[in-house]
């Protein structure tokens, strides 16, 4: 992800992904819509509703994967969504064991790299 998004902006992305038709967006979505559209993570459809772009879906999925890695790091019994668990397992960031899900050395290095970039 090349964009530095705030927690509020990620929350707005998640809300946009769950936004159903004919439902007014929340204040969080309205507050962040201009920036998210400007960096091409969201766009307005012809009917005026917000939707995530392909880049927006990718950014949201990346955040879910990072959050999943952090959850497994702190609690091997943490429940991950099926798509996040499949992706992290396929990329060898996590592995399953009888005690629960274990984060691999590669996963730890990935988290360390993410933390180093934020400083």
**pLDDT tens column, 54-70:** 999 999 999 999 999 99
% of residues, the chain, pLDDT over 90: 71
Distance (Å, whole) CA 26 – CA 99: 40
pTM: 0.86
3-state secondary structure of 81: coil
| Radius of gyration from C-alpha coordinates of the chain | 16
**Tokens linked to 37:** 């559209």
Distance (Å, whole) CA 78 – CA 91: 18
Instruction: Tell me the per-residue pLDDT of 24-40, one tens digit each, with 9 for 90 and over.
Output: 889 999 999 999 999 99
Distance (Å, whole) CA 77 – CA 89: 15
CA atoms within 13 A on the CB side of 105: 0
């Amino acid at each position: 992800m090349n964009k530095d998004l705030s927690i509020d902006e990620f929350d707005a992305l998640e809300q946009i992904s769950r936004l159903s038709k004919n439902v007014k967006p929340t204040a969080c979505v309205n507050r962040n819509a201009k920036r998210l559209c400007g960096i091409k993570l969201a766009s307005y459809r012809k009917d005026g509703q917000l939707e995530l772009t392909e880049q927006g879906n990718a950014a949201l999925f990346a955040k879910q994967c990072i959050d999943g890695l952090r959850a497994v790091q702190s609690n091997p019994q943490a429940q991950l969504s099926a798509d996040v668990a499949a992706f992290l397992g396929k990329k060898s960031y996590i592995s399953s064991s009888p005690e629960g899900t274990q984060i691999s050395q590669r996963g730890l290095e990935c988290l360390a790299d993410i933390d180093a970039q934020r400083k």
